[in-house]
Amino acid sequence: MMDYPTIDPVAISLGPLQIHWYGLMYVVGFVAAWWLGRRRAHRVGLSQDAIGDLVFYAALGVVAGGRLGYALFYGIERLVADPLWLFMVWDGGMSFHGGLLGVLVAALLFARRHRLGYFQLTDFIAPLVPIGLGAGRIGNFINYELPGRVSELPWAMPFPHMGPETRHPSALYEFALEGVVLFVLLWWLSAAPRRRGMISGMFMLLYGVFRFAVEFVRLPDEHLGFIAFGWVTMGMLLTAPMIVAGMALVAWSRRQPVDGALGHGVLPSRDHGRAS
């Protein structure tokens, strides 16, 4: 058995102002995406300065989509009872699947503005995302969130406020798979020219498989429980379409030109070479 590390969820406290580790993890994710994106900006015909705009679009999509998705997928009853709760972001609650939809909408707007093919842009974005996902899972772990199911494995640990039973550290599993493994695979795959849509499809497929697998050891949301057959969770229900869509996109990409990863054949941006 391992002890659950005691880490104060508040990273910085300045009088009434408190900065939580979970919030800082979002900053880590956006800064990492900005830094990595600048390294490859030329591959999609963008200036390095335009990457700042892209990260801004993505941040709006993550926050707006993540909050709305959580309200619709996990808190619809509370939303109906109190619509203003949607805007109470300090009350907690963000959904990856909602954030993903928000980023896809933001990418559509950005691609139109910069005259980029949609999947050329999403292929560029996909490898930049996993570091933020992994950082977010570390934030979940610090906040004692995403507890796993009871286990007797050597690395299982008792979760604070959940009794003496040892549980899977499912947030750490997701950090390793959605953060580290997904980043390494996508960064490696996108280092060489790939057919348009292939990297986007692999992101959806790999994330879907990793998340679906972890759901078997992650405790379902207390207010939802299992939603079907005594084992299907909301996470599984939302992730299964990602797996199907990822496989379909990879198959579709086989008939597309080889330009999605390195910018071969990409239309130039209107603000290529100058600040946007």
Contact 140/219 with Cβ under 8 angstroms?
Answer: no
Q: What is the pLDDT of residues 236-273, one digit of tens each?
A: 999 999 999 999 999 999 999 986 434 333 444 334 33
Q: Is the pTM of this model over 0.95?
A: no
Non-local CB neighbours of 144 within 8 Å, separated by 6+ positions: 4, 159, 160, 161
Write out the H or E segment, with its range, that includes residue 19. Answer: strand 17-20
Q: What is the pLDDT of residues 82-126, one digit of tens each?
A: 888 787 765 667 888 888 999 999 999 999 999 999 999 999 999
Residue 125 CA to its chain's centroid (Å): 11
Which residue in the block uniquely carries the two structure tokens 């998340």? 211
Q: Which residues pair with 20 in a beta bridge?
A: 10
Residue 137 labelled as part of a binding site: yes
Q: Residue 193 gets which letter from DSSP? A: -
